[in-house]
Every structure is written in structure tokens, then in C-alpha cells.
Amino acid sequence: MLAVDLHSLIETHDHPFVAIDGDYHIVAANQAYCRQYGLAREDILHRRCHEISHHSPRPCHENGELCPHLALFAGGESSEVLHTHYDNAGHACRSRIKGMALRGAEGQLYLGEMVFPLEADLPLGCEEMRMVGHSPAFLACIDHLARAAESEASVLLVGESGVGKELAARFLHERSGRAGRPFIAINCAAVPEAMFADELFGHERGAFTGSTAQKKGLYELADGGTLFLDEISEIPPARQAKLLRVLETGEFRRVGGTATLRADVRLVSASNRNLLDWVDRGLFREDLYYRIAGIDVALPPLRERSEDIQALAEVLLARLGGPDRPPCRLDKAAAQRLKGYPFPGNVRELRNVLQRAMLLSRSGVIGADAIVFQPSPAQAPVERVVQADPGLKGMEREHIRDLLALHQGHRRTVADLLGVSERTLYRKLGRLGLK
């Protein structure tokens, strides 16, 4: 009965989520966790958490890492850490893990861990995905990427949210002289400011309370390969100067260290913002911009490559179907309906539309009636009466509240629609009293 209650609780979350008892045993895991890491629930339950996440026989704090389990059961505190989480195939993924106290039906204490993968677009399986298309806009972009791959210059990928910037970065890496060496990806918006230096440059033993072992940062792990910084505009201004110095010299120090280290890294960055506009507004350093934008490549939105939609849909349907069922296919009417839609959310929105369509289609053939588009904020009907709240702040509060209601509280979706990071949206919610 207890496990059922916990499963019901954590299944409401879109992010990977597990519940863990005081002896490190996983007692509940949601579908998002199983899907993210390629695991069946029966292979997870009653196993020790460190065996699943770290592929280690010892708890993470015994390996020198900060541990949410130790923080809760030994210190009575919730915590947030950055860990490497392995999937069933042994692929490593840097993740932000938020630990929290949960109570079972009979009052027992459990650790709840919500996992936020730092790499972009992981649900699509970036390591297996390929760039798909034959439209003029797509082929021109591929040609630009291929030429950029021949250079060692820093590359800035620009494009709307959801266009596949990490796939483009992987394409660059695999066609460069660094193919076969590390490709390290990180979503800058997902890293708390206080952890940024530690995540990027690592720390020495004893650098802070709980750091019982040395840890290499992502910059050092990318030595000889490519470091991909997604949403680079979200790096806090105070950290931009540190990154600039490292890019200029190739030298860095771990947090708490005195030794100067070097790493040979090719930088690929990405942003859905106009960074020159941010430079003008004083939000992004001009010297850092010119350091990261040795070559800039614009990735076309899906509305400019409608000829590619059907081929993309076929690949996405095959991925979404999984190994246990044959992929669905589109009939002609459904394909035409997809081609006629502008997809403001780009490939990410296409994936969501197809995921819903698969649930509505029992025969394995998706018809036009199963293709349902979410209305844009401008089209969305607001059923409740908005109470008067004068001023711009009140208007902003009502607008964000309506978006949250329309999208069932999915903050990532609302952040994408507003053109901000989840971290920025979270701050807005606090400022507007909407948390």
C-alpha cells in the first residue's frame, strides 16, 4: 500500500522522480525516470539508489560526492546537488538532483529525488538521433555546419527554442578533428549560480564542507574534445568574466585549488536570444560575445522547412514508440495538417503533438483528427474573469497565471513561450507571488 501511495504521488511529476528509503533502497519510480534512463520499473524497485544511478556498490558520499540521502537522513536537511547519472546503457549524463523529504502513508520518512538532466533534448535520445531534412533551408544550414566543423574556431548556434541546437552541436563535433574525443554538454540555465564554478571547473578536496574528494569540472573533462554550452545567455554576469579568462588563456583552477591547469577545448555555444541586443542592454559581456562567436550559425525554425516535417515526424514516431511496439504512421490528411501548421515551438512542439496523437490512435495509423495543436497565448481562451490589478506588474501576473493554467502548470513550456529560462521564470513567479 505504501509503494502505491508513493507511486501515485511522484507520477504527477514530468521530471524523473524516485523515492528512496533510509537504507538506500528505491521504493518508487515514475515513468519519466524509467523512460529517461531506459529502465523497467521492476529492475529499479528495491535496488540501492547508488547501484542504479552511479553503477557503484558504494553510496555517493563514500566516493567523495555530496549526497542528498546523507543530508536528509543524517542531517535532516533537503539539498540540491550536481551528479553524474548513468543510463541503462552506461551513458553518463550530468544532472541536477533536488532532494526533499517525503512522508509515506504511515508517516515513514523517505528521500524524494527529482532529476533535471543538464544536457538538452535528452528525451529524444540525442546519441541515437540524426539530423533529418532535405529542404533548402536545412541543407544550407548543414553546409554551414560542415564548413564550421573543419575549423577550430568557437561556434555560436543561434535559433529559436526547440530547433535542435544540441543535435547541431553534436553534428559539428562528429565531423570535426575532435570526433571520438569527449563531447560534454551543459544547459547553463539549469545550473544554480552558486554551483557554476564548481560544475565547470571542479573542486579540490576540502574546498568546502562535504568535499571529501577531488572532482574534475566539465571543462577539464572536455579536454581534447568539445564543450557545448547551451543557453549561454543565462550565465550570471559575475561568472562571465571568469569564463572569458579561461577561454582566452586555456588555463583554470579548480575551486579551492592553487595549481593552474590547462585543457584543450573547442567551444560550441547556443542561445535563443539576440546576444548583441543583450550586449547593448548590459546583460552580456561584449568581449565574451566576440570570443564565443568566431563563427555563428543560424538554425532555421520549422516553419521555414515545412518540407521536412513528414520525415521528422517519422523519425520522432519511431523514437516515441519504443522497442515494445511498432511505430505509428501518419495518413495523408494528418501529414498535410502538420505541414500547414507554423510550429512556434519547433521540433519540440512537433514531438509533443505526435506524442498526444499516438495516445489517441489505437490502430497504429494517425489520422488528422488525432493531430491537436495547443493554442498560442494570443489565441488561448481565458475562461475565468480576471480581477482588476492595475499596472504593468498586475498585467504580467495575470498573463503568466493564464499561461500556467493553460499548460497545466508546466513551467518549462511557459518559459519557452515567454522566451526566458526556467530560472528566470522561477524568479518572476516569486516576485509576482505566484509560487
The pLDDT > 70 percentage for the chain reads 84
Question: Which amino acid would we find at residue 123?
Answer: P
Joined grid coordinates for residue 22: 533510509
Kindly calculate the radius of gyration of the chain based on its CA atoms and give it in whole angstroms: 23
Most confident of 129-143, 218-232, 307-321: 218-232
Q: How confident is the model at residue 83 (pLDDT cuts 50, 70, 90)?
A: confident
Cα–Cα distance, 32 to 43 (Å, whole number): 15
- Is 280 exposed, middle or buried (CB count within 10 Å of its CB: 0-12, 13-18, 19+)? exposed
For residue range 22-47, what is the model confidence (pLDDT) as tens digits?
A: 999 999 999 889 988 999 999 999 99
| Class of the CATH domain delimited by 303-370 | mainly alpha
CATH code for the structural domain at 392-431: 1.10.10
Cα–Cα distance, 267 to 179 (Å, whole number): 14
Closest to 56 in 3D by CA, of 213, 203, 167: 213
- Supply the mean pLDDT for the chain: 82
Question: How many Cβ atoms are within 10 Å of 75's Cβ, its own excluded?
Answer: 9
Tell me, what's the pLDDT at 404?
73
Give the architecture-level CATH label for domain 123-298.
3-Layer(aba) Sandwich (3.40)
Tell me, what's the pLDDT at 399?
66
Q: Residue 179 has what DSSP assignment? A: T
pLDDT score of 319 more than 60: yes
The secondary element (H helix, E strand) that includes residue 184 is strand 183-187
For residue range 351-397, what is the model confidence (pLDDT) as tens digits?
A: 989 988 988 887 889 999 999 987 655 444 433 333 434 444 565 67
Cα–Cα distance, 251 to 356 (Å, whole number): 48
Compute the half-sphere exposure of residue 433: CA atoms within 13 Å on the CB side of its CA: 4
Assess contact for 110 and 104: CB atoms under 8 A: yes
Q: How much is the average pLDDT of 170-188?
A: 91
> What is the pTM for the complete model shown?
0.62
For residue range 207-266, what is the model confidence (pLDDT) as tens digits?
A: 776 666 788 889 999 999 999 999 999 998 888 999 999 999 989 998 888 889 999 999
Tell me, what's the pLDDT at 193?
81
pLDDT score of 88 more than 90: no
Q: How much is the average pLDDT of 60-71?
A: 83
Residue spans of the domains in the chain: they are 2-116, 123-298, 303-370, 392-431
Question: Selecting from 3.40.250.10, 3.30.450.20, 3.40.50.1860, 3.10.20.90, what CATH number does the domain 2-116 have?
Answer: 3.30.450.20
Closest to 18 in 3D by CA, of 26, 140, 433: 26
Tell me, what's the pLDDT at 287?
94
Tell me, what's the pLDDT at 126?
34
The secondary element (H helix, E strand) that includes residue 202 is strand 202-203
Closest to 34 in 3D by CA, of 163, 47, 21, 23: 47
Q: How much is the average pLDDT of 118-126?
A: 40
Assess contact for 244 and 285: CB atoms under 8 A: yes
pLDDT score of 120 more than 50: no
Cα–Cα distance, 293 to 90 (Å, whole number): 34
pLDDT score of 118 more than 70: no
- Is 426 exposed, middle or buried (CB count within 10 Å of its CB: 0-12, 13-18, 19+)? middle
pLDDT score of 304 more than 50: yes
Cα–Cα distance, 97 to 78 (Å, whole number): 11
